[in-house]
Each structure stands twice: as structure tokens, then as C-alpha cells.
Structure 1
Amino acid sequence: MQAVIKKEGNGIIAKLDRLFNHSVEEVWGALTENDKLENWMSNLEIKDLRKDGIITFNFNDGSGKSFDLKIRDFEEYTVLEYDWGDGWVRFELSPEKDGCSLVLTESSSKLNDHTAKDLAGWHVCLDMLGDVLDGRHKDFPMDDWAKWHEEYIIAVKMIGEQKNM
């Protein structure tokens, strides 16, 4: 399901909801343990898992380039929020009858050409997270990303045309 996107100032708030048939502990581990994280979001590496800690974004392009992202909010097994571009991304977990609910919220302070790319990326990465949790691993599906990117281009354009409320 596509993210729910709302205009906020000159930017957006986007929410992606997923329900996994896995425990909060399993999903949390996939978000915060580097050996699991690399299977669905290979650019990220947890360096210091705590509020005001660090997650490193590695370009993975052979250049060795990376930059650090500050962890803005942290509550073990519940919340992980960190800087992301000109905004932030937040993962919230809650137990459900048959597993775990994950809500990913991305805030971006301005709309630009990268906004739809980011949303498509998070969409596909959460699908990959589900696959990893189910014991399946695949390379990043560029065809899926391209399909979602086209949809998010339209959605972001529509949001950008809205007047501030």
C-alpha cells in the first residue's frame, strides 16, 4: 500500500504502515542489528544505538564515502528516529495479536526531485524487510522501485500543488 502523504509547510509528512507476522523483538532486531539490517537497507550501519547516537550511511559505491546520521529519539523495542536528509525518519513498533505493527514516518522540510525517490526507496525497503523477516533475501528490486517511483512522483506533485492549510 502506498504511503499516506500530507503537506506540512513547504514539505511533507509521509507514513508507511506494515503488519508483520513476527514479534516486536524480531522486527526490532532487523532494524537495529547490523547483520540483519544489511539484508534490507545495506547503506545503513548502526554505530552507537542510543538517543544522540550515530547511524552511518555508507554509499556502497566503492568510494568509501559515508556520513553520520544522528539518532534523535530512541526507546528500545518501540522507537528509532534519526536524521534523514533535510528531515528525519521514524520507526515505531507495537505488538499486535498476530505479530508486530511498524509505522515508518518520514518528514521532509521541502519537496524536491529526491522526495519521490526516497518514498519509493522506503516503500521497497519495507517490502524487503518483510522478506528478510520471512527468511527470504533478495537483491534490491529496481523494477519494483521504478514502479513505485512513478507513483510517488504523481503523489508528490499533487501534494506540492496543494495550498498550505
Structure 2
Amino acid sequence: MITTNSGTYLELDDARPAVRFQRIYDHPIEKVWALVSDPAGLAHWFPSPEITLELTPGGTVTFSGDPRMPESSGRIISVDPPRRLAFTWGGDELHFDLEPLGEHRTRFTLTNVLQDRDTAARNAAGWDLCLSALDTHADGRPAEDPHNGPAASWDELYDGYVAAGLPSGAPVPGKG
């Protein structure tokens, strides 16, 4: 796995704020697709440990099992197997874009379109931890549970994103 974008803040063409991450995996696109579109794959790294998806535009996505967050649901915005999946989560949008790089490599891009600009550093720190768990799982190595990982690591990542100038200040679930 190669990290080509470890987490950046940007404003999209329509001026919506977002954070973006990018990885290159030494796996075919079908394997990476299963990690982002199959509940069994998502369970290893996604913030909500229990997720269901109706993989059709307008389909429902449910998120549960996180003691810091109430159960919620979203909608599938777009799905184009094995290249693109986008859905709503709270007021945000998550876009997973996959691009084959030959037969055995895949570029993975996660774009979290933010409802609120001040969530950028918070969300980037969370995604950084989750994507580390994805990286580990994709490589077949045992990983710490991304849902109950060390808080100090999140705090350090958050402080780093704030120092890098990402907008911050939003409340952090489970922290007062």
C-alpha cells in the first residue's frame, strides 16, 4: 500500500468543503471494491461496526453498533461497481472512487464532503485511523479494532490536522 494523499482539506467546484485521502493498493479492483461495498469488508475499518447497504441509487444505508453515536441511516447517491460508491452519512457525503492501475493495483480515493467546514480536522483524524485499519486489513495483517482504538492516536492526529490548518472546532462524539 502506498499513501499518495494522507488527508487534505479542499473546497469542491461547488464550494462545498471536503477532506480527501488516497491510497494505492497492490490488489485488484474487485478486492478493494469488496472492502468498501460489502458489510463484511467494511466491518474491519469503517467507523460504524455494523453497516448495511442497498447497493442501488436511492437505496438505504444503515449505521449502528458505535456506542458513541446513535443508530442512523443514509441514502446511496451513486453506485458503479467496482469503481464508485457514494452515500450520505448524517449531513455528510462519502465518495469511494476506485481506479484500476493494471491488473493487480488499485487507486482508492475517499472524499468526505462535509456539511460543516469546522468538522474537517475532526473527520480527517477519524478517517486517518480508519484507513490505517483498512490498509492493515487489505494487506492481511491483524489490526487493532478501529472502533475502539487508542484515543491518544486520534488526539495526536487531530492536533496535527489543526496545526496543518484544517478547519476545526466541531464537537467530538464521546468527548464531552
TM range, smaller chain: 0.7 to 0.9
User: Do residues 85 (structure 1) and 90 (structure 2) align?
Assistant: yes
Residue 73 of structure 1: aligned partner = 78
User: Do residues 3 (structure 1) and 13 (structure 2) align?
Assistant: no
Deviation at 1:47, TM superposition (A): 3.2
SS of 1:156's equivalent? coil
Asked whether the 8 Å contact 2:74–2:89 carries over to 1, the reply is yes
Asked whether the 8 Å contact 1:10–1:109 carries over to 2, the reply is no
Q: Distance in 2 between matches of 1:39 and 1:78?
A: 20
Point out 4+ residue stretches in structure 1 off by more than 4 angstroms: 8-11
Residue 123 of structure 2: aligned partner = 118
Residue 62 of structure 2: aligned partner = 56
Mapping 1:120-135, distance limit 5 Å? 120-135=125-140
Residue 34 of structure 1: aligned partner = 39
Q: Give the TM-score of the pair, scaled to structure 2.
A: 0.77
Q: Give the TM-score of the pair, scaled to structure 1.
A: 0.82
Residue 150 of structure 1: aligned partner = 159
Deviation at 1:144, TM superposition (A): 3.0
More helix by share: 1
Counterpart code for 2:20: K
Q: What does the per-residue CA deviation read over 1:60-90, in whole Å, with 9 as the maximum and x for residues that have no partner? A: 2299x41111111111101111113323110
Q: Distance in 1 between matches of 2:112 and 2:63?
A: 16
The aligned length equals 156
Deviation at 1:153, TM superposition (A): 2.2
* Cα 1:61/1:123, change in 2 over 3 Å: same
* Two-structure CA RMSD over aligned residues (Å): 2.4
Instruction: Choose 139-148 or 77-86, whichever is displaced more.
Output: 139-148
Counterpart code for 1:52: G
Q: What does the per-residue CA deviation read over 1:110-162, in whole Å, with 9 as the maximum and x for residues that have no partner? A: 223x432211111221121111111123222333322211122232249xxxx
Counterpart code for 1:94: E
User: Do residues 99 (structure 1) and 105 (structure 2) align?
Assistant: yes
Instruction: Choose 36-45 or 98-107, whichever is displaced more.
Output: 36-45
Residue 51 of structure 2: aligned partner = 45
Counterpart code for 1:18: R
Residue 162 of structure 1: aligned partner = none
* Cα 1:47/1:104, change in 2 over 3 Å: closer
Q: Distance in 2 between matches of 1:76 and 1:84?
A: 20
Percent identity between the two aligned chains: 21
